[in-house]
Amino acid sequence: RDRLEEYPEALGVEVSTIDSFQGREADAVVISM
């Protein structure tokens, strides 16, 4: 999350856990490292 601030093109991108998105509609991309 902290490194996302380094990229201006990522402005407005929300990074959180799956649980925080529960019950909401949103496009999602899941990346596992």
pLDDT in tens, 3-23: 878 888 888 888 878 787 778
Whole-number pLDDT of residue 33: 67
Distances, alpha carbon 33 to alpha carbons 5, 24, 27, 30, in Å: 19, 25, 20, 10
Both tokens of 4, joined, read 């996302």
Contact present, 29 and 21 (Cβ < 8 Å): no
| Long-range contacts, 1-8 (Cβ 8 Å, 24+) | none
Q: What is the pTM of this model?
A: 0.38
H or E element that contains 21? helix 18-21
- What's the pLDDT at 11? 83
